[in-house]
């Protein structure tokens, strides 16, 4: 009898008790709006920003309603205007080109390598098309950030980092989100901390920080922030910066603060699970494991492997056979957008020339979530099932 996995790929851990207690306190006093504070009180949202700035070693932090809102706000604050072209990854998720489109700018895509990171040669070739690169550390794979920053500095490209999948990760010891002008994070349920919805951005640039605070809908209450620049900076930008409401509320902030304190321990747990999957899938004929660079401190909250140059029917057969045994895999090669996967050529509002090298990689990417509700034994079982089914289809001559 073949083994079957019965766990859920979308089940998160509960919110820590401390977060539940803090959330109840907010509900009981009723001051959910971040600027609604009692005499002498500091809001949960302001404390969250202060703590996350310190954790990331950043001067400034702003908490907002979503990761996508953080991206669009970062671009606006960095001066991206309607009609501008913004470079971004061809291998990413729909909210990234969506954030670019939301401010009237146009995404232009840079290819992906077999390491699942941005193709730096393609970036060099396209660097003169834009002033800003919205760099998506898609599925937690971090490119050579030292070389990327060299390329971008030389080309005058401002880097904004989408760290929806790299909160808690680092490159050469530098936290993900701290190489570019702004680092943006998502606190949505499927990311590394969970407030249902939510986002954070960090920067060391005082004018970008002040504009972001005003953009997020601070009215003129910016003095109630603890991780924002001084009033003189706001004086310089306040008449030219629109209010586009997207504030974080105190309920979500209360839930997030204890989760951020636990982030490092959670990262270690994710990486243990990733390691078990990786060990179980190495040397599977036909399957390519992604080798992670030494300089990278990853967060293994999801796992990818390649079925490179496989015909579509065989990839589909693997997905079907794994699904029948309870293992939910996603494929980035499907022609039609499905679930959370979609390809750059399905974002028809921002058409692109074909990228054959990228298409070859995308057509091979298979992806699975690794929620922390999985035990190490669950991960070993999942790897055994994938290994057996990939092997079965690979050897099948039909
Ligand atoms: C989830 C996600 C976002 C956006 O985050 P939301 O909080 O859902 O708006 C951006 N980029 C990537 C790669 C994501 O997975």
Structure tokens at 328: 């939910």
Give 347-360 pLDDT, tens digit per residue.
Answer: 999 989 899 999 99
Fold assignment, 263-395 = 3.90.1150
Helix 95-102 to helix 67-77 angle (10° resolution) is: 40
Atom of ligand 1 nearest to the CA of 184: 10
Number of other CB atoms surrounding residue 43 within 10 Å: 25
Predicted local confidence at residue 339, as pLDDT: 79
What distance in Å separates the CA atoms of residue 148 and residue 121, rounded to the nearest whole number?
10
Q: Is the CB of 199 under 6 A from ligand 1?
A: yes
138 lines ligand 1 (CB under 6 A): yes
Cα–Cα nearest to 260, from 176, 195, 181, 203: 195
CA distance 67 to 55: 18
- The residue assigned the tokens 């140059």 is 309
**Residue 71 Cα: closest atom of ligand 1:** 10
Residues of the chain with pLDDT under 70: 1, 397-398
Taking alpha carbons only, the member of 261, 212, 255 closest to residue 234 is: 212
- The ligand 1 atom at the shortest distance from the C-alpha of residue 92 is 13
Identify the residue whose tokens are 């640039």. 205
186 lines ligand 1 (CB under 6 A): yes
Given this model, what pLDDT does residue 335 score?
81
β-bridge mates for residue 85, sequence order: 106
Of ligand 1's listed atoms, the one at least distance from the Cα of 191 is 1
Burial of 156 (0-12, 13-18, 19+ CB in 10 A): exposed
Q: Is the CB of 307 under 6 A from ligand 1?
A: no
Each domain of the chain, given as residue ranges in start order, spans: 17-261, 263-395
Question: Does this model's pTM top 0.95?
Answer: yes
Q: Tokens for 103?
A: 């401010």
Which among 48, 35, 369, 75 has a CA at the least distance from the CA of 199?
48
Q: Compute the distance between CA of residue 150 and CA of residue 138 in angstroms, rounded to an integer.
A: 20
Ligand 1 centroid to 314 CA: how many Å?
A: 30
pLDDT score at 398:
61
The predicted pLDDT at position 395 comes to: 87
Look at ligand 1, atom 12, and give the residue with the nearest C-alpha.
Answer: 164
Q: How far is the CA of 1 from the centre of ligand 1 (A)?
A: 40
* Residue 1 pLDDT: 66
Tokens linked to 340 = 């959370």
Question: Under 8 Å CB-to-CB from 98, ≥6 apart: which residues?
Answer: 68
Q: Is 66 in the pocket of ligand 1 (CB under 6 A)?
A: yes
Q: Whose CA is nearest to atom 1 of ligand 1?
A: 164
Domain 17-261, what fold? 3.40.640
**Tokens for 258?**
């204890």
Q: Is the CB of 164 under 6 A from ligand 1?
A: yes
User: Nearest 10 degrees: CA dihedral of 260, 266, 19, 223?
Assistant: 10
Segment (H or E) for 106: strand 106-110
Structure tokens at 392: 């079965």
Q: What is the pLDDT of residues 371-384, one digit of tens each?
A: 999 999 999 999 99
364 CB less than 6 Å from ligand 1? no
Torsion sign across C-alpha atoms 387, 389, 393, 395: positive
């Amino acid at each position: 009898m073949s083994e079957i996995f019965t766990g859920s790929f979308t089940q998160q851990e509960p919110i820590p008790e401390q977060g539940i207690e803090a959330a109840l306190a907010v509900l009981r006093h009723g001051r959910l709006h971040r600027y609604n504070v009692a005499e002498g009180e500091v809001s949960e949202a302001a404390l969250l920003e202060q703590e996350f700035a310190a954790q990331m070693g950043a001067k400034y932090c702003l908490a907002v309603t979503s990761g996508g809102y953080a991206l669009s706000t970062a671009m606006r604050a960095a001066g991206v205007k309607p009609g501008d072209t913004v470079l971004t990854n061809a291998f990413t998720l729909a909210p990234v080109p969506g954030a670019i489109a939301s401010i009237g700018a146009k995404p232009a895509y840079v290819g992906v390598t077999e390491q699942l990171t941005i193709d730096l040669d393609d970036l060099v070739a396209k660097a003169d098309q834009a002033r800003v690169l919205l760099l998506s550390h898609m599925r937690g794979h971090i490119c050579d950030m030292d070389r990327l920053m060299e390329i971008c500095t030389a080309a005058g490209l401002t880097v904004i980092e989408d760290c929806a999948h790299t909160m808690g990760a680092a490159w050469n010891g530098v936290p993900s989100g701290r190489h570019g002008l702004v680092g943006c994070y998502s606190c949505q349920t499927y990311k590394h901390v969970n407030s249902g919805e939510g986002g954070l951005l960090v920067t060391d640039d005082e004018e970008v920080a002040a504009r972001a605070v005003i953009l997020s809908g601070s009215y003129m209450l910016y003095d109630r922030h603890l991780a924002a620049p001084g009033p003189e900076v706001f004086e310089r930008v306040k008449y030219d910066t629109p209010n586009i409401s997207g504030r974080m509320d105190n309920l979500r902030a209360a839930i997030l603060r204890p989760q951020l304190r636990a982030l490092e321990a959670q990262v270690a747990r994710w990486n243990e699970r990733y390691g078990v999957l990786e060990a179980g899938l190495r040397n599977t004929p036909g399957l390519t494991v992604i080798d992670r660079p030494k300089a990278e401190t990853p967060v293994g909250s999801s796992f990818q492997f390649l079925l490179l140059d496989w015909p579509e029917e065989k990839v589909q057969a693997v997905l079907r056979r794994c699904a029948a045994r309870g293992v939910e895999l996603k494929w980035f090669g499907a022609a039609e957008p499905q679930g959370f996967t979609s390809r750059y050529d399905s974002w028809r509002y921002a058409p692109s020339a074909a990228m054959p090298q990228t298409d070859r990689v995308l057509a091979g990417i298979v992806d699975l979530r690794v929620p922390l509700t999985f035990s190490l034994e669950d991960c070993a079982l999942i790897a055994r099932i994938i290994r057996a089914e990939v092997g079965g289809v690979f050897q099948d001559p039909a």
